[in-house]
Amino acid sequence: MNIEEIRTLSPEDLVKQIEEAHKELFDLRFRLSTRQLVNHQELRRVRKEIARMETVKRERELDIAR
C-alpha cells in the first residue's frame, strides 16, 4: 500500500489497517523463528508499511490540534 492509498483511508480504516499489519508482522516473526519464512524481505516491507500508516495517523493528529 503506497502513501496515497493510506491518505485516502478514513481514520477508522487506518486504525484497522495498522492492527492488521501488526498481526501480519507477528505472524512473520513467528514463521521466522520456526524457520518457515522463505522471503525475509517481507519483514522489512511490513515494518515500513506500519511506519507509513503511523506517520499519516500522527500527521492527522497534529493537524487536528491546530
Q: What is the pLDDT of residues 5-34, one digit of tens each?
A: 999 999 999 999 999 999 999 999 999 999
d(CA 38, CA 56): 30
Residue 23 CA to residue 30 CA, distance in Å, equals 11
Task: Tell me the pLDDT of the chain averaged across its residues.
Answer: 95
Question: Residue ranges of the domains in the chain?
Answer: 11-65
11-65: what fold? Answer: Helix Hairpins (1.10.287)
Q: What are phi and psi of 22, to 5 degrees?
A: -65, -40
Give pLDDT tens digits for 40-53. Answer: 999 999 999 999 99
Distance CA 53, CA 35 (A): 28
Confidence of residue 65 (pLDDT cuts 50, 70, 90): confident
